[in-house]
Structure 1
Amino acid sequence: MSGLGAEIGELALPSLALITLGATAAEASWVRAAMLAPFLLVTLWFGVIVDRRARRPLMIGADLVRGAVLVLVCLLALGGWLTIPLLIAATAVLGTMTVLYQLADFAFLPQIVPERHLIGANAKITATQSAIQIAGSGVGGALVQVLTAPIAVVMNALGYLLSGLLISRVRLPEPRPGAAELRPGAVEPWPGAVELRPGAVELRPGAPVRRSAIAEAKTGLSLLLRHPILRALAAEAALWNFGNEIFMLALAVHVLGDAAAGPMILGLIVTCGGVGAFVGSVSSARLTARYGYGRSLLVSLVLGNTAPLLGVLGAALVPAGAFPFLSAAFLISGIGIGVANSQSTSIRQIAVTEEVRGRVNAGYRLASWGALSIGALVGGVLTTILGPVAAALAGTAVMALASLPVALSPARHVRTIEEVAPRSPLLTGRPS
């Protein structure tokens, strides 16, 4: 429900800015950047909170706040009181709560699913999200076209509110995560992963050690940067997200403005990406088992990251065929992304232990999703100066280059994701 609402919102919010409020490309980019800036500003701190608190209440609270904010946005729009600055403020709150929800969600899943089943579980979740994207993009475009953007925003709000209600019905014992215990003889997950100066803390058998939030956030970021495969995945995601934000803003401005094709056409193009992602996600576990993690990951990334550039080139050279070219590009890209996403998510959950999972994922989100806000602002500048077609070419070129960090990393040699699990337990003494 949360994903369905968000997919509707992906079309409803930019349509609300561009059509209802008459925003320029630069103003639309500020609305988008406000949604994404929290990934740069609060991700590391929320990662600490997720590792210190029970995850389920955080997810419920984030959903309820997002739903309430969107209901308020709809009321302001229907009353004629909504302005670009108010929409920017509202999207900033939405983005902040989305950061909290996603970090808690990522750390919550491994508490439910055993490690050996994570690839299958993430593949099923990715497939579900892809199916939702198919429905949400099409429904979102139709809702905006027929019922106007403010009504579509209400549907987004209902998705979040229903999501919070459903998660509140999950009955899973979730003791509050305690401070990590440092015991004599504790070992690191890989050499140099955690460095503590002698005498920095007093180590007593069984005595919990609570460090500052800044120190804990730095530990998560350090673990991410020291792990060669996680570092490569973060770099790939950051480059792809940066380029994709430029591409999607330019595409929205071109389809909704210059080409005057309307929200429904944009929704149909994006829906093709959801169809491809569904096909890729349901094939992910099978491809991994047959060809190995590294090989299938790299091939799927190259496929998914390069297709948008080819689609934009085709649309630019043959404007009359822009719709089929872009639709095919989204479909092929979705297949590659569908395969890669479940693999990437699984390896990031397995590569570190539960005690630091929230903080390491926060570092990953800081790099990958933080690039979105920068891409949104750069996209607004490029679209204004160069025009939407040239900006789309620039964005998709960056997306095509995103596969390089993974291609140059040890990830391409990995057969199973268990190979990257910590060789020794971190602090707890449990077998990895």
Structure 2
Amino acid sequence: MLAVTEFDAGARDMGFLAAATWLPWLLIRLPAEVWIDRGDARRIMIRADLWSAAVTASVPVAWAFGHLTLAHVFAAALGVGFGSVFFRTAYASLVPQVVAKDDLEQANSRLVGTESAMQIAGPGVGGALVALVGAAYTVVLDSISFLVSAMCLARMRPGAMSRPTPPAREPMLTSAASAG
């Protein structure tokens, strides 16, 4: 919405913006999976949220100082895409650590259901917020949502259901190659 309202972005620009959001999935998904499997999923999610909060916050700050460009919006979309790869990949690793094995199927279906509902409701809510406060200030709310998510994750303490760390690890490139 910001690209359209501030820069009169057309269909081509919007296509590039969507591509910038999804490009990180093509570039780093496999190495991210390997790294997440070797690390603490909750901490990776917190860092991804803080990264995404900073990237999104840069947009209204640049706008407020009159320095926002369409290239900046593209870069922010790319940056949020990278954060999304790490966050969304890590939550698949975190759920088994915080949910009992018998409840895992129900927990995963709730996550998928919530994500689907947000994909449907999100654009409408975003459009309403843009109409109320403007596109740049709506991005501030998005940045705040990443901070709230990071705070909630920081308060979370995965319990005894944590899976043990494997004793021997192969090199990351080998792991990524065998995962692909």
Normalised by the length of structure 1, the TM-score is 0.39
Structure 1 pair 21–97 and aligned structure 2 pair: CA distance change class (3 A): same
CA 1:130–1:35: 2 relative to 1, 3 Å: closer
**Number of residues paired by the alignment?**
179
Q: Is the 8 A contact 1:59 1:100 kept in 2?
A: yes
- Aligned pairs for 1:212-291 within 5 A: 212-221=171-180
Q: Which residue matches 1:40? A: 26
TM-superposed deviation, 1:158:
0.8
Greater relative contact order (Cα < 8 A, sep 6+): 2
1:45-79 Cα offsets, whole Å, 9 max, x none, are 11111111011100001001111111111111233
Looking at structure 2, the residues matched to 128 and 40 of structure 1 have their Cα atoms a distance apart, in angstroms, of 24
Q: Distance in 1 between matches of 2:10 and 2:22?
A: 19
CA distance in 2, matches of 1:166, 1:84: 32
Deviations 1:260-287 (A, max 9, x none): xxxxxxxxxxxxxxxxxxxxxxxxxxxx
Aligned position for 1:152: 138
Change (3 A) 1:119 1:49: same
The Cα of 1:87 is off from its aligned counterpart by 1.3
Q: Distance in 2 between matches of 1:114 and 1:173?
A: 10
Show structure 1 runs of 5+ residues with no match.
1-14, 182-207, 222-432
* Amino acid in structure 2 at the alignment position of 1:211: E
Match of 1:92 among 78, 82, 101: 78
Q: Report if aligned partners of 2:98, 2:159 keep a CA contact under 8 Å in 1.
A: no
Return closer, same or farther for 1:134/1:218 CA change in 2, 3 Å cut-off.
closer
Distance 1:165 1:172 in 2: 15
User: Which one of the candidate residues 115, 119, 123 is aligned to 1:137?
Assistant: 123
Cα offset for 1:84? 1.4
Larger radius of gyration: 1
Q: Over residues 197-236 of structure 1, what are the superposed CA-to-partner deviations in whole Å (9 max), with x where a residue is unaligned?
A: xxxxxxxxxxx3x322111012222xxxxxxxxxxxxxxx
Q: Are residues 28 and 137 of structure 1, via their aligned partners in 2, closer, same or farther at CA, if it must alter by over 3 Å?
A: closer
Which TM-score applies when normalising by structure 2? 0.89
Give 1:29's aligned residue. Answer: 15
Q: 1:129 to 1:81 in 2, by over 3 A?
A: same
Judging changes above 3 Å, is the alpha-carbon distance between structure 1 residues 112 and 216 closer, same or farther for their aligned structure 2 residues?
Answer: same
> Which residue in 2 is equivalent to 1:113?
99
- Structure 1 pair 177/20, CA: closer, same or farther in 2 (3 Å)? farther
Number of the residue aligned with 1:388: none
Q: 1:119 to 1:172 in 2, by over 3 A?
A: closer
Give the partner amino acid of 2:176: A
Among 137, 159, 165, the residue aligned to 2:151:
165
Amino acid at match of 1:212: P
Q: Give how far 1:135 is off.
A: 5.3
The residue that corresponds to 2:38 in the other structure is 52
CA deviation map 1:2-35 (0-9, x unaligned): xxxxxxxxxxxxx111221112221221122111
Deviation at 1:164, TM superposition (A): 0.1
Contact 2:97 2:158 in 1 (8 A): no
Q: Is the aligned partner of 1:17 residue 2:6?
A: no
Q: 1:134 to 1:33 in 2, by over 3 A?
A: closer
What is the distance in 2 between the residues matched to 1:81 and 1:130? 35
Taking the aligned partners of 2:109 and 2:34, their CA distance within structure 1 comes to 27
Coordinate RMSD, CA, aligned: 2.1
Structure-1 separation of matches of 2:108 and 2:133: 35
Counterpart of 1:220 in structure 2: which amino acid?
A
What one-letter code is carried by the residue in structure 1 that aligns with 2:45? M
For residue 161 of structure 1, give the secondary structure of its aligned residue in structure 2: helix
